[in-house]
Amino acid sequence: MNKIYDLIIIGAGPAGLAAGLYAGRYQLDTLIIEKAQDGGQISLTSEIENYPGQIIDVKESGNDLIARMRKQSDGFGAKHINDDINSLKLEGDIKVLSSSYGNEYRAKTVIIASGAHFRPIGCKNEDKFRGMGISFCATCDANFFRNLQVFVVGGGDSAVEEAIYLTKFAKKVTIIHRRDELRANKTVQEKAFKNDKIDFIWDSVVDEVNGSDVLNSITIKNVKTGELTKYDADPKDGMMGLFGFIGMQPNTEFLKDSGIEFENGYIKAGESTHTNIPGVFAAGDVRTKLLRQVITAASDGAVAAHEAEKYIASLS
Ligand code: NAP
């Protein structure tokens, strides 16, 4: 393929689709390449209620929101295809992207918006109860666990901070940690230890989760003794929550030989979204950033498209 796009966007989550929308409005000839289903992590969320401007009453799912974002970016002319980019030559004025299906794409600029995924908890039946009691985002889902018992897995800053946040909703929050000492910073630890609604299960991991339609029991394994303990939801509640915060994994495997710089596994890029390679930008969860949410991903997409437009103008 000899066509040279102004911009290729890798990933059709909130960052990629917002970039597509803005690039379309800048009249850049834009191609969005998505490997799988549009939406990334948000497509796993059954109800989104923290994106400004939504009509909350209709209980919009992540997929519904993404479908509207897609329609909007299509409407401004961004083209969209499914393909799996597995190699990138990013130096020089024309960037060349190759796919595992043998296709080649060329562009003056590239926005990488390939997202990240939460490290799975790693217990039996986990996939069955994702979105049905198991969550990886307290900001998104805490409200669904009002007055229910909630378990949190992990001992780092995310696990302990999110556990504290969850106490505003849940009747009780139990942190399950694989060691007998938290990794989280001391200030956060102190807050958690002082919080009456939080208790701890040490030296333990989640072995199995069960339920009918929704999660209503979890089995925890003591890693020192091997002892298994089953916790059932209060019959009056009918369900319980389980949040996993054992680290994130950015989707950067395909970039390993691209020359892009990383920091802790994420693409090193600040609020300007510039990477170390001119004409290549990183937007959304895949880049180093403070808060990974739909709203911040969409914001990055707008910034990255703006910066791509400026870069292209500087070439002429
Ligand atoms: P993290 O610091 O890597 O902590 C992950 C936690 O999960 C650790 O306690 C770890 O246990 C546990 N873990 C890892 N794999 C596990 C497994 N397979 N089974 C059970 N437990 C497992 O991740 P994070 O808390 O998401 O934080 C990521 C980074 O963001 C950190 O640098 C953190 O400081 C930063 N952060 C900062 C803030 C803030 O400053 N406000 C907030 C959130 C995050 P071990 O301790 O035994 O290894």
For residues 174-198, give the mean pLDDT: 97
Cα distance between residue 40 and residue 12, in whole Å = 7
* pLDDT at residue number 54: 84
Query: What is the model's pLDDT at position 139?
Result: 81
CA of 120 to the centre of ligand 1 (A): 13
pLDDT tens track for 122-150: 999 999 999 999 999 888 899 999 999 99
Q: What's the CA-to-centroid distance between 146 and ligand 1, angstroms? A: 25
Q: Is the CB of 155 under 6 A from ligand 1?
A: yes
Average pLDDT of the residues in 228-240: 96
Residues 28, 130 contacting (CB under 8 angstroms): no
The answer to whether the CB of 311 is under 6 A from ligand 1 is no
- Residue type at 127? D
Strand extents, DSSP E, 140-197: 149-153, 172-176
Whose CA is closest to 156, among 191, 185, 123, 122? Answer: 185
Residue pLDDT, tens place only, 197-206: 999 999 999 9
Nearest ligand 1 atom to the CA of 205 is: 20
Report d(CA 264, CA 145) in Å as an integer.
Answer: 32
Q: What is the mean pLDDT of residues 174-199?
A: 97
pLDDT over 90, % of the chain? 86
The pLDDT score that the predictor gives to residue 59 is 76
pLDDT exceeds 80 at position 45: no
For residue 95, the number of C-alpha atoms closer than 13 Å in the C-beta half-sphere is: 27
Ligand 1 pocket member 178 (CB < 6 A): yes
Ligand 1 atom 32: the closest Cα is on which residue?
157
Kindly report the protein residue whose alpha carbon is nearest to atom 7 of ligand 1.
246
The pLDDT value given to residue 58: 79
If you write DSSP's letter for every residue of 223-258 in order, what string do you get?
A: TTT--EEEEEPPTTT---EEEE-S-EEES-GGGTTS
Q: Mean pLDDT score of the chain, rounded to an integer?
A: 95
Identify which of 22, 26, 6, 3 has the alpha carbon closest to the alpha carbon of residue 14: 22
Q: Give percent above pLDDT 70 in the chain.
A: 98
pTM of the shown model: 0.76
pLDDT at residue 1, rounded to an integer? 60
| Cβ(245) – ligand 1 distance below 6 Å | yes
pLDDT tens per residue, range 95-124: 999 999 999 999 999 999 999 988 999 999
**What separation in Å is there between the alpha carbon of 153 and the centre of ligand 1?**
10
Cα–Cα separations (whole angstroms), residue 283 to 35, 295, 314? 16, 12, 21
- The phi, psi pair for 197, rounded to 5°, reads -85, -5
Q: Say what the pLDDT of residue 46 is.
A: 64
Residue nearest to atom 46 of ligand 1 (CA): 183
What is the distance between the alpha carbons of residues 267 and 275, in angstroms, rounded to a whole number? Answer: 7
Q: What is the pLDDT of residues 266-298, one digit of tens each?
A: 999 999 999 999 999 999 999 999 998 899 999
Atom of ligand 1 nearest to the CA of 246: 7
Q: What is the spatial distance between Cα 63 and Cα 51, in angstroms, rounded to a whole number?
A: 13
User: From CA 140, how far away is CA 60, in angstroms rounded?
Assistant: 12
Positions marked active-site: 137, 140-141
From the CB of 49, is ligand 1 less than 6 Å away?
A: no
Q: How many residues in the chain?
A: 316
Instruction: Say how many Å lie between the CA of residue 160 and the centre of ligand 1.
Output: 9
Binding site membership of 282 for ligand 1 (Cβ less than 6 Å): no
CB of 32 closer than 8 Å to CB of 72 = no
Residue 248 CA: which ligand 1 atom is closest? 26
The candidate with the shortest Cα–Cα distance to 147, out of 72, 73, 240, is 240
What are the start-end ranges of the E strands in 19-140? 30-34, 79-82, 85-89, 95-99, 104-112, 116-118, 134-135
pLDDT, tens digit, for every residue of 46-87?
A: 677 789 988 878 778 888 999 999 999 999 999 999 999 999
How far is ligand 1, taken at its centre, from the CA of residue 205, in Å? 14
pLDDT of residue 42: 79
Res 144: pLDDT = 94
